Structure 1
Amino acid sequence: MRYGFVKTACATPDIRVADCAYNAAQTIRAVEQAAGQGVEVLCLPELGLTGYTCEDLFFQPVLQQGALDALDTVLKATAHTSVVFVVGLPLAVRGKLYNCAAVCQSGRLLGLVPKTHLPSYNEFYEGRRFTAAPAGTFTLQLLGQTVLFGTKLLFCHPKADCFKIAVEICEDVWAPLPPSVGHAMAGATLILNLSASDEVVGKTEYRRQLIAGQSARLLCGYLYADAGRGESTTDLVFAGHDLICENGAILAQTELFGSGMIVSEVDLEKLAGERLKNTSFAAVNDEGYTTVQLADTCADWQPVRPVDPAPFVPAGESERMRRCEAILEMQAQGLRKRMEHTRAAAAVIGISGGLDSTLALLVVTRAFRLMNKPLKDVIAVTMPCFGTTKRTKSNAEKLCEALGVSLRQVNIADTVRSNFADIGHDESVLDVTYENTQARVRTLVLMNLANRMGGLVIGTGDLSELALGWATYNGDHMSMYGVNGSVPKTLVRHIVATVAANSEPALREVLQDILDTPVSPELLPAKENGEIAQQTEAIVGPYELHDFFLYYAIRWGFAPKKIFWLAQRAFAGVYEDAVLVQWLRNFYRRFFAQQFKRSCLPDGPKVGTVTLSPRGDWRMPSDACAALWLAQVEELEQNL
């Protein structure tokens, strides 16, 4: 286990029906393969030591003994490995035959879990041969070991409280009340399912939805190993559809009718953290459960699970465009409600020619179309001052023309100079006063104009800026409704690009140039050649890094060391470790120091899983100390 990650696998070995010795050898091969890849937990299919399709041969003592002998062979051959694995076999206990999962590690038979729900409908006839799991847990003497037998068994790692395994078998998860529900409520974070699910048209997608959905409902990792090649095709076909899921996400799955192994890491620490804060997930109730201690898995593994460098942005183009469109609609519907409720006659928005104000203006125009209000009542205001460049001013004008909104220009330079005089500031001193006075004057203009027009000031600042405090308090920090407040900078770009891709040429051209313009507040004088002098990412750091840090620090509550470890994988070959640590330090320093700005944010719609509204997902004292988090960053720096 590393940073909460457990390396898991599902495998569907080739088998021969009723050839237990052959199946034992295939099982051993799968365990050895898993061990070679550093796998800590391996799930194998239902009744894998005999084959699921033995029919009435299950009644034969010869087959029953063959399965036991095969299990003994597997245990002895895998005694040198620390992989926790489950393998299926039929077992006669107290005069009845049970469909069982044997939980094994290092030559030990840790427990036997019988199947609870026996399908006896359509193509299935398990009720003819097997008995449903009995109530309670008892011990057996089997293969020279004392073994627990029952469904309520939790297999727990000695060094990690979040590492708890429980088992159910095939039909159990298809039932109205799966045993895994009780397992999860008893504390299990990793559910293993040995399955023999035959393949019929439409079942594959249903199976994906079922297993992913179960992992989401239970906030767990779910390993599903399906029977495949080698099972009898007398009446059925098995495709070996294995799945590894985590909290609704499919981490890995096999191709149908293949064989082999899928491997991925499941983040049990993340799941435990999600359960901790989810009040719908009741407190642990392990009454009736017996705990079985695992040995330390001691696996030395290399990660195989990819880490997305842009966790807020869907990877596929079609899904990304769908997400962007959905966010635009949520933003517009939120603004629509506020406009209708306040009976505002107009929407007033400061437009700079930058990405954030562009997105906000696109949202406003969509909301006005939803309300059938004339776009002339959208008052876009460009407010040039000392740092405004010709490029951004021109793009602001072209954007307003292409959208058909009203454009006003208010040159704020004289007002800013007047304020400098009022407070005794030397204009040649390009400090924070120089910058923030411009931002506050702009907000003053917008607020007063909105009063005059009977309108609302629409905020443009995004989630990433709020996280870093990259906003002037009571300047661009303030509005009457902030439409971008829960949209991270990395996603802002894609939303604007999505609109551009579906726009007429004039709008597409200006949106594309805005996308190509460096992010800047333009509060310092431009260079002699007219280029932007103040580029945000050179000051606070790359937004792709800060959005990555924000996602894992706030959405999942990960510690700096774990975030750094993930960032090393996500940005390998892009950023050196020292650069990652540098901006990680800046993220935590700014995030803690700037909470006071987030404590008094204007209203705005939540559109994603991360938001910093003080009325919703994030409530933090403005004077909290960052020492514990920065101490971890300092330790990382010392180890570089």
Structure 2
Amino acid sequence: MTQSLKVALAQLNPKVGDVAGNLAKVRAARAKAKEQGADLVVTSELVIAGYFPEDLVLKPAFQRQCREAVEALRTDTRDGGPALFVTTPWREDDKLYNAIVALDKGEIIGKRFKVDLPNYGVFDDKRVFAPGPMPGPLVYNGVRLGVPICEDVWTPEVVECISETGGEILLVPNGSPYEVEKTDVRVQHGVRRVIESGLPFAYVNQVGGQDEVIYDGGSFVIGADRQLKAKLASFTEEVATVEFRRSAGGWECLPGRIAPELGKLDSIYQAMMLGLRDYVNKTGFPSVVIGLSGGVDSALTAAVAADALGPERVRTLMMPSPYTSRESLEDARACADAIGVKYEIVSIEPAMEAFRQMLLPLFGNRAPDVTEENIQSRARGTTLMAVSNKLGGMVVTTGNKSEMAVGYATLYGDMCGGYNVLKDVYKTTVFELCAWRNRHLPDGALGRKGRVIPERILTKPPSAELKPDQKDSDSLPPYPVLDAVLHGLIERDLSAEELAAEGYDRATVDRVWRLLENAEYKRRQAPPGVKITSRLISRERRYPIVNGFRG
């Protein structure tokens, strides 16, 4: 009877649709696991397809490629190396499943299909997959291994079935997206399943960015004694082998390396870096272009870009108007110099005058208003896109969640671009991240140590500088108040009455609610960006644009 089982947790960063590339990653992980003496390799969820493939997975040609990749891996296992529990879309009996396929000695020794298909938040599994039957364990080397997939362990039923049918160890492939402080939630679910089943629990999570969703890795093992036995690093690919040993009371995991848990701001910054890096690299852009205004949002965006891609792949443009202050010009230059990125100045004043002359016959002597302010922003957006088209590089926008929520942004202006790292970051958190980055160089960052965001950028009042003496506070409540109200309306889904009962001024709450609802049409046209919170408003808060509800 087998007394020891060494399992390699393959925390990989696949690319959706790149079956050949993902196959190569799995092969490399298996080779590394063999060097570590592993008996068995377990991958994260849908590693052959990349997670989440959305409607791509419905294409028969794509399904065939995934099946061929599994067949190639099946052949690989004839070499006497580790067995492989690989995850993939799998069509069987005219149904498409989210599957794990067990491969050993050139044979498929078993398959299991995901039962609980999530259909909330960023998840849309029910749209494309059929639910599998309740699974019993797979047998490998005489060990009965339960292989529930991701959502299957967020409720007790699937693990209960595995336990009642003789399961001895739980190996759980996952595609669990990053959210602030979500690691504790995952571990708590794992502990619950261990308590209910009495079985040790290995959680293998994906890592990497896919469009707006970030997978942060952090795979872990919980022993039958409910203690954390091993944890992989967050935000990085890793293959780590853990050993389970049989005892009179069942299987237990030997203690392994436990990677340190990241603090809140560290993890947010790492998520922004990984999201931007993977989006730029996986889409094939050589570099990025950022409008650098001398304000806090563009400064943080430039710092993240330099850390994610390297300063040499970041181009910044200051695009002054007659309303741009001398301090903003100085601050933008100082910021670019501190970060070490390319910095250029392109005045938009000629474009403003050209539009004034062009529209004069239509506008006549009407007084300037928000129209002229938006023209400035759109002139900047057009400039950035022109630089992108002519010189290469993807435009990265700089609007934060507070602004995007209430529509304090210009459609086809400062919203113009390919990606936004601050899209799900409230303004108050932007300031916290800037201060944190000035004190820390994140692990894996390619940028410079030390202060990269000048102090004056952090202390001066925020302003769009689209008219004389303009301040954000002229149009919006103070950001600490605005962010607290928005968090209540978006993440907590509270009503105006409930927020007022918590002490917030009712008129302010009503005003923010109206701004939030009226900006839906803008958010539908915004670029994708990194998901940070529990509710990314462009993807997880799906409200109609035409909406008569005024609750």
TM-score by length of 2: 0.50
Compared CA separation, residues 447 and 548, structure 1 to 2 (3 A):
same
Residue correspondence of structure 1 range 111-510 to structure 2 within 5 A:
213=188, 322-369=263-310, 375-424=311-360, 425=363, 429-502=367-440, 508=451, 510=453
User: Structure 1 CA distance, aligned partners of 2:419 and 2:449?
Assistant: 29
Contact 1:354 1:519 in 2 (8 A): yes
Give deviations 1:362-411, integer Å, cap 9, x for gaps.
11101113xxxxx2331100000022111111110011011111001001
Aligned with residue 603 of structure 1, among 528, 531, 534:
528
Is 1:623 aligned with 2:522?
A: no
Deviation digits for residues 215-236 of structure 1, max 9, x if unmatched? Answer: 9979xxxxxxxxxxxxxxxxxx
Task: Give per-residue Cα distances to partners, 1:65-89, cap 9 Å, x unaligned.
Answer: xxxxxxxxxxxxxxxxxxxxxxxxx
Distance, in Å, in 2 between the alignment partners of 1:538 and 1:210 is 40
- The Cα of 1:497 is off from its aligned counterpart by 0.7
Q: Is 1:594 matched with 2:519?
A: yes
User: What's the offset of the Cα at 1:213?
Assistant: 3.3
Q: Is the 8 A contact 2:405 2:537 kept in 1?
A: yes
Q: Deviations over 1:39-81 (max 9, x none)?
A: xxxxxxxxxxxxxxxxxxxxxxxxxxxxxxxxxxxxxxxxxxx
State the percentage of identical aligned residues. 28
Q: Kindly state the Cα deviation for residue 322 of structure 1 after the two structures are TM-superposed.
A: 2.1
Deviations 1:309-344 (Å, cap 9, x if unpaired)? xxxxxxxxx99x921221111111111112212322
Alpha-carbon spacing, 1:322–1:414, altered in 2? closer, same or farther (3 Å): same
Structure 2 unaligned runs (5+)? Answer: 1-154, 158-183, 194-259, 442-446
What's 1:520 paired with?
463
Contact 1:441 1:475 in 2 (8 A): yes
| Alpha-carbon offset, residue 508 of structure 1 | 2.7
**SS of structure 2 residue aligned to 1:381:** strand
How far residue 507 of structure 1 moved from its aligned partner, in angstroms, is 6.0
Q: Within 1, Cα distance between the matches of 2:274 and 2:386?
A: 25
Pair 217,561 (structure 1): closer, same or farther in 2 beyond 3 Å: farther
C-alpha separation between the residues in 2 aligned to 1:473 and 1:210?
Answer: 37
After superposition, the Cα gap between the structure-2 partners of 1:211 and 1:492, relative to the gap in structure 1 and judged at 3 Å, is closer
Letter in 2 for 1:393: L
Q: Which amino acid in the other structure matches residue 342 of structure 2?
A: S
Q: Which runs of 5+ in 1 are unaligned?
A: 1-179, 183-208, 219-317, 370-374, 526-532, 569-576, 630-640
Greater gyration radius: 1
Q: Deviations over 1:412-460 (max 9, x none)?
A: 0011110121122579933111100000000000001011111100010
Task: Give yes or no for contact 1:551–1:610 (8 Å, CA) kept in 2.
Answer: no
Contact 2:440 2:449 in 1 (8 A): no
Q: After TM superposition, give the deviation of residue 601 of structure 1 in Å.
A: 1.8
- Answer whether contact 1:402 1:506 (CA < 8 A) is retained: no
Native 8 Å contact 1:500 1:512 kept in 2: no
Residue in structure 2 matched with residue 242 of structure 1 by the alignment: none
- In 2, the alpha carbon distance for the partners of 1:356 and 1:433 equals 23
Q: How does 1:521-600 map to 2 (within 5 A)?
A: 521-525=464-468, 533-566=469-502, 568=503, 580-600=505-525
Deviation at 1:550, TM superposition (A): 1.5
Amino acid at match of 2:188: G
Q: Is the 8 A contact 1:540 1:586 kept in 2?
A: no
Preserved contact between residue 387 and residue 524 of structure 1 (Cα < 8 Å): yes
Q: 1:510: how far off?
A: 4.7
Q: CA deviation at 1:212?
A: 9.9
- Give the SS at the match of 1:520: coil
Q: CA deviation at 1:511?
A: 2.7
Q: Report what 1:97 is aligned to.
A: none
Q: Report if the CA contact (8 A) 1:462-1:488 is conserved.
A: yes
Q: Amino acid of the residue matched to residue 608 of structure 1?
A: T
Deviation at 1:478, TM superposition (A): 2.1
- Name the aligned partner's letter for residue 383 of structure 1: M
* 1:355/1:524 CA distance change after superposition, 3 Å: same
